[in-house]
Structures are given as structure tokens and as C-alpha cells.
Structure 1
Amino acid sequence: MNTWHDKLSYFLFGEDTHAELDWLMRLVVDGILFAAVLLTAFLAFFVIRKVLMRIVTKVVKKTENTWDDEILKSKLSTWISMLIPAVIILKAAPMAIVTLDEGSLEFSSFIEITAKIFIIILSFLSINSVLNIVERIYRRFDVSRELPIKGFLQVIKIILLLAAIILIVSSLIGKSPVLIFSGLGAMTAIMMLIFKDSILGLVAGIQLSANRMVARGDWIEMPKFGADGEVLEVALTTVKVRNWDKTITTLPTYALISDSFKNWRGMSASGVRRIKRSVGIDMSTVQLLDDSMLEKMHNIRLLKPYLERKEKELAEWNTQHAKDDFTSPVNSRALTNLGTFRAYMLEYLKNHPKISQDQTLIVRQLQPTQHGVPIELYTFTNDNAWAKYEDIQSDIFDHFLAVLPEFGLRAFQSPSDHSFQQLTHA
């Protein structure tokens, strides 16, 4: 009486009747033992699910850490509470069903295979939950924005899924999984074709992370795919971008390696944002400053240092080179309304509280075109929030357009109002 089956048979039918038990009696013993195994598995499930997990929940909620709350949000406790009973059934079922009848052997084998498959699936789901918990905890740290790990975790999940499938198949056919693994070499080409996007995404993800090219929270612009917004997720095969119109664009991860895109992370991190915009000046309004205009310019506070410096410089040059020949303006140097306006723009920006004085600040005249003479501003605001940046930029150009008549200048329009009047009077 070395087994539980023998002990129960002796208890139910006596020692002398053991040899005379027919198939039905032995089947009853098997059934009772198997029912006991199922009851034990259920009790284990109940204890783990209702008792131990409640204790763990109370302990986690009392801790000051917040990252361990992710454990409670996952289904890890569900898979573990089902995994332990499955192991009990796998180990105890062969001891419960020992009748050497062919039908009993087939049933015992069926129970064992089913329990193995169940354990493999639950183990995969448990590890998958652990990886999800790791990802969610990692996303709580700032480093996750620069070094996302979701792509790497997805690769691990794929490998685990393939391993689970192979183990399930080996359990069904009764062969060693080593034989199946050895046969995968012949399927390499097929596997590469099936998982082409995953392989390309893995390589791209490694390059993106290693070179820190893009991360969650970055603003990227990729016109080819219609992407212009914030990166929500960098996964194994796809990158999700929430555009500024609240639409979601999904693009292949490897496209960020094979194609060009613009990442605005540097601008966001710097705290400044560039203004690079020009205003076109009607060329017919450009002229030299006469005495009345020059006197008017002296009333502009920001221009006083500039005018004093330029008048001294021009007087010295004219005295040395022009001598007394002032009959033609081409023989001497003089201030122009356009140059004076350009100097005013520069001084205005230098004194503007929303313009960064630590960055490049240029007001330059570009090559004249059919749209007039462009005067371009190249500077940086000290507030890079989109709405505030647009307000600052608009206020600056509102002011410049409004003061143009004070310098005798006119903004160019196509056709300009001045040229249109000339045409109508011709």
C-alpha cells in the first residue's frame, strides 16, 4: 500500500477484497481521488485569491511608494492564483488515476497534457503582466521620455509567445521541445518574412534609443506621413503621434530611420523660439532723409544714440571725401528712411522684454524682389509656448507695420496702393 490509491481501496473495500475489485470499483477510487485533487486545487485558488492577495493589497496601499500600485492594477494576481492550482492538478492527477485500464490511461494523459498547456499559458500571461508592470513603472520616471523600453519589451513578449507555442506543440505531440527548436532553422526565411516589420522596428528602435533621436513627449514634424505633433508612444513597429488638431497619426518605426523628420525637442528644451519673418517695403517709398525728416527722427527716443553716432560718422566722411561738392546727393553719404527704420527695429527688439538677448538678434535687408524690399527679423522669444509665442510675434509686427508711415515708408502689397493710383492716373 505505497500509493494513495491503495490506501483508499483498503479503506473502502478492505485488504482482502483488493484483488477482487472490478473495473467499476477501481474507477470509483480514481474518481474520489481525482475529486479530492480538484478540491485541493480549488482551496489553493481560494486561499491565494481571497486571503493572500487581500493581505498583499493592504500592505501595498499602506506603503508610501506609488509605483507598487501598478501591481494591483494588473492581472498578475489572477494568473498566479490560477497557476498554483494547475500545478497541483499536474502533480497530483497521476497519483489519483492509476488504474491500468486503457481508458483510464488515456484520461490521465489527457488531464496531464491539459494541465501542462494551462500552466504554459498562465506562465506566459504572468510574465507578460510583469513586463507590463515594469513598463508602467518605468514610464513614471523622466528618463523614459528619452529612453523608451516598450519596443524592447515587445521583443521579449514575442520571444516568450513563440516559446510558449513551441512548448504547447511539444506537449500535444509528446516530443521534446529541443527537436522543434532545432527545426526552426529551416523556417528562418519564412519567419523573417512574417516578422519583417518587427525586425525592422527592433533595429530602428535600438538606433532611435541609442542616438536619442525621438522619445515620448517630443514634438516631431514628418510631412510625408502627415505627422505634426507630440509623440505619444514609441513601440516596436509603430510610433503614434498626436497632431495639433487632436488627430492621431501612426507611422512605422523604421520610417524615422529611413526618412527625414524634424524634432523640435531642442527648441522646447532651450526655452526660446525663433522668429524669422520679413516685412516687404515698397521700393518707391525709399528715400534720403531731409532736414525735416531728420528732425522728426530725433524725437524717437530709441533712435537718439544711433542718430548721434551716424551723424558724426557721416560728417567725418563727407568732410574728408565729399569736401564742398554737395550739389548732388550721390557725392556724399546721407541717412535713408529705410536704414533708419532698420536701426529702429533693431533697437526696439533689444529693448523688448519678451525677446531673448542671449540669442542671435539680427535685422537684415534681403535681396529686393517683385514683392518689394524684404526686411527680415531673425531673433528668439524667451517664451516658447505656442500661443504666447504667436502673440509676441504678432505684437512686434503690428507695431512695425503701424510705425512705417512715421519713416515715410509703405508696406508692399501686390499691387501696392501707390502703384495702383499711378496706373489709374496715367
Structure 2
Amino acid sequence: MLEKMVQWPWLQQAQQALEAHPGAYSVVVLALLLLAAWLANYVTRRILLRGLKRMLRMLPAEQGGGRRDLKVIPRLANVVPAVVIAAGIVLVPGLPPGLVHFIAGACQAWVVLTVALAASHALDLFNAIYERRPDARDKPIKGYLQVVKIVVFVLAGLSIVATLAGVKLLHLLTGLGAATAVLMLIFQDTILSLVASVQISGDGRVRIGDWIEMPSQNADGDVIDIALHTITVQNWDKTITTFPTRKLVTESFKNWRGMQESGGRRIKRPLLLDQHSVGFLDDDALARLERFGLLDDYLAGKREELAQWNAQVAQAHPEEVNARRMTNLGTFRAYVERYLRSHPGINQGMTLMVRQLAPTPQGLPLELYCFTASVAWVQYEAVQADVFDHLLAILPEFGLRVFQQSSDAMLMALRERAAS
């Protein structure tokens, strides 16, 4: 089209009229070239790309009320004027051959860069569409798309260098063979991160939304992004921690997804009892404990068991010291177990036990091991507090005391009382 424009009669007449001014005709042709580039860009943006934009808005990523900025459209529109200028610059008379070659090469380089940027935005749009799928959290593809972006930009950069240097891309790639070791060193983190991303996506060890705990990276919270090079975690204090993806392969971490999917969150906490308060139950104490409905079956079964045992032992050793008797600690342990089995906030389908641990200088630990029916943090803490509130309050009914390290407050109170 540009060659036909140069052959137009009025343009030839203008060339003859401007023979006295050698550079004027070149300016006229250059202005016509820029006008043609502008018209091509206008037609592309107003007609062709507007229709393409309407088609892209019909994709799932654009439905649901949220309009996504389709950056691919304006990027592609910049290709057309560059192509027009690259094809028509050779028709402008009077320009030095070196300048013509440079402008044509710069336009080709611009086209390559524009296509690469458009491809990058297209990959972002594809990732946005993919993330709307229900299984996107389990199989994220963001890391793979970032690898594709790197390949696209590397090829685009090599193509631009080859175009501006006036050599073929294949020759440039052949010359880079000697620099492979250097490139491997430069992209070492990228290669390691790519391998880690493949492993993470393959075995599903970490997914978006998982609660992970990684003390070495100061990460303790929900995973909000899985990229090629980095994992982003929002900690419980709302700070953001970012660490390399390969750390999930080379270092240990804890994923709480199993707890969240199991339907129960563990309570594993001891009551520290004063060992001096442990003793046998006499008739009065047993009469008091018969008021507890949760202990009906326990007390009845225990009495029968002890009666049979003591009847056999009494024949040979009638002394009371040889008889078995119920203790307040054993009865309290039975009460705690039955209380947990009747609590609506405790998951009855998972492990539940009340066990006695080895004595310590801080007292005798009576540990509760069970799981709440809700894994939510707030509900978990509420159930746990409710259980221990009740047990601490009911403990004196069994003649037991909680161990608590004493301070000098009692001594000071005694001294003040004595002084008064």
C-alpha cells in the first residue's frame, strides 16, 4: 500500500515541486508514513480489538460481576503501527541506510517485546480463569505459568538482541552454548524452585489455604500464595512471611491440614495435683460422691470388684491394710473421663482418655487427652476452657487440691498478723 502511495500522481507532482528543497519531500513521505501508522492503529483499536475485547469478556473470568482489566488488548494494538513503520521506512527517500536499518530493527524489536508482554498478560488471565475451578487450590499452576513467562521473555530478549545486532537467532543461540554454565549459575534458584514446585503440586504437601508452621522461616499461619520462587504465608498476627519455595522440600515444616480435615482438634493438657491431697475414700466421702450421677455405674462396679477381692484376701490376711480401697484420685479420674464422654463439645469418635503421668516437682499431672468437635480456633479454646473451668471448680469435692507454687505473700501476711 505504501508503494502505491508513493506512485500517486499528486505525490509525484509534490516531489517535482519540492526539488529545490531536497529534504522537504522526505519529510512529506515520513509524515504520510506516520499518518498511515496512526490510521492503522486507530482502525485496529476501534474496530478489530474492540470486537475481540467483547469476546474475551464472555469468558468465565469476566462473569460474576467483576470486570477484569484485559491488558492483552492495548498491548496487541501497539503491534500494528510498528509493523507499518518497519515496512514503510525503506520508502522514505534521503534517509541514510544505517538509520533505515536501525529503525526497521527497532520496530521489529518493539513488536517482539509487545507480543511477549501480551503473552504474559494472557497467561495471567488464564491463571485467573483456572483459579475459579473448585480443584484449583489443590493443583495450583501459577508456578508453571511463571516458568513459561521466563521462557517467553528469555526468547524475546534473545530475539531483540539478534535483531538489533543483525544476526540470526539460531546463530545467537549457538554462541550461547559456551555460556551454559554461567546461565545455570544465574538461574540456579529458578531451577531449584521449579523442581520444588513440581514436587509440591504432585504430592499436594502444601495447598493455598493450608495452615503451616515453619519456625526456621518464622512462618505460622495460612498459605495465601504459591508462586514459582516464593511461598507467602499470612501469620496469625496478620504479618506476611515470604520464603523460597525450595524450603518446603529441603526443610521440615508442619501442615495442620490433617487436623482440619479430621473434624477434631486435640486437647492435651494436664491438671497438676498436689500429691499430699491424694488419699483413700472413707464412708462419708463415698456418700458425698454418690450424689454425682456420672459416677453411678463406676461406684457400683467398683464396690462389687473390691468386695470380691477383699473377701478372698480376708481369709488369709484379715487386717484392713491388706484390703483394697477406692482413692479420691482414681474416682476423680473416672469422673473426668465420664464428664468428657458426656460433653457436647468433645468429639466422641476420636481418642479420649484421662491418664496419670509421672510425678514432677510441680505436682502429679493428670492429663486430659481428647479432641474437640470443632476445629475452629475460637470454638476450640471455648470448649477447652469450659472443661477445665468445671474440673478446677469440682476438684475440692473429691478432697483434691491443685498444686501451685507458693510465693512469699502468705509469709508476709503471717508476719503482718503477728506484728499486729
TM-score (norm 2): 0.89
Alignment correspondent of 1:245: 237
**Aligned AA for 2:233?**
V
Query: Would the aligned equivalents of 1:338 and 1:409 in 2 still touch at CA under 8 Å?
Result: yes
Q: How does 1:203-218 map to 2 (within 5 A)?
A: 203-218=195-210
Q: CA deviation at 1:314?
A: 1.5
Alignment correspondent of 2:297: 305
Change over 3 Å in CA distance of 1:143–1:23 after alignment to 2: farther
Alignment correspondent of 1:391: 382
Secondary structure class of the residue paired with 1:144: coil
**Aligned AA for 1:374?**
P
Query: Would the aligned equivalents of 1:273 and 1:380 in 2 still touch at CA under 8 Å?
Result: yes
Secondary structure class of the residue paired with 1:344: helix
> Is it true that 1:322 corresponds to 2:314 in the alignment?
yes
Alignment correspondent of 2:268: 276
* Matches of 1:266 and 1:313, distance apart in 2: 42
Choose from 100, 112, 118 the match for 1:108.
100
> Is it true that 1:351 corresponds to 2:342 in the alignment?
yes
Q: CA deviation at 1:340?
A: 0.6
The CA deviation string for residues 40-62 of structure 1, in whole angstroms up to 9 with x for no partner, is 3222322332344444555666x
Gaps of 5+ in 2: 416-420
**Aligned AA for 2:4?**
W
Choose from 34, 42, 45 the match for 1:46.
42
Q: How does 1:402-413 map to 2 (within 5 A)?
A: 402-413=393-404
> Is it true that 1:401 corresponds to 2:401 in the alignment?
no
**Aligned AA for 1:193?**
L
* Matches of 1:292 and 1:230, distance apart in 2: 55
**Aligned AA for 2:215?**
P
Change over 3 Å in CA distance of 1:122–1:256 after alignment to 2: same
Alignment correspondent of 2:159: 167
* Matches of 2:318 and 2:363, distance apart in 1: 30
Q: CA deviation at 1:269?
A: 1.9
Alignment correspondent of 2:418: none
* Matches of 1:338 and 1:31, distance apart in 2: 104
* Matches of 1:247 and 1:275, distance apart in 2: 27
Q: How does 1:174-189 map to 2 (within 5 A)?
A: 174-189=166-181
> Is it true that 1:154 corresponds to 2:146 in the alignment?
yes
Change over 3 Å in CA distance of 1:24–1:215 after alignment to 2: farther
Identical counterparts, % of pairs:
42
**Aligned AA for 1:127?**
A
Alignment correspondent of 1:228: 220
Alignment correspondent of 1:379: 370
Change over 3 Å in CA distance of 1:317–1:412 after alignment to 2: same
Query: Would the aligned equivalents of 1:90 and 1:116 in 2 still touch at CA under 8 Å?
Result: yes
Alignment correspondent of 1:254: 246
Of residues 144-153 and 272-281 in structure 1, the stretch that sits farther from structure 2 once superposed is 144-153
Alignment correspondent of 1:75: 71
Q: CA deviation at 1:285?
A: 0.6
> Is it true that 1:195 corresponds to 2:187 in the alignment?
yes
Change over 3 Å in CA distance of 1:224–1:43 after alignment to 2: same
Q: CA deviation at 1:157?
A: 1.2
Q: CA deviation at 1:92?
A: 3.7
Q: CA deviation at 1:383?
A: 0.8
> Is it true that 1:91 corresponds to 2:78 in the alignment?
no
Query: Would the aligned equivalents of 1:57 and 1:72 in 2 still touch at CA under 8 Å?
Result: no
Q: CA deviation at 1:169?
A: 0.6
Q: CA deviation at 1:36?
A: 3.2
Change over 3 Å in CA distance of 1:64–1:22 after alignment to 2: closer
Secondary structure class of the residue paired with 1:355: coil
Alignment correspondent of 1:36: 32
Query: Would the aligned equivalents of 1:275 and 1:379 in 2 still touch at CA under 8 Å?
Result: yes
Query: Would the aligned equivalents of 2:18 and 2:24 in 1 still touch at CA under 8 Å?
Result: no
- After TM superposition, which residue ranges in structure 1, 4 or more long, deviate above 6 angstroms? none
**Aligned AA for 2:129?**
I
Query: Would the aligned equivalents of 1:345 and 1:363 in 2 still touch at CA under 8 Å?
Result: yes
Secondary structure class of the residue paired with 1:73: coil
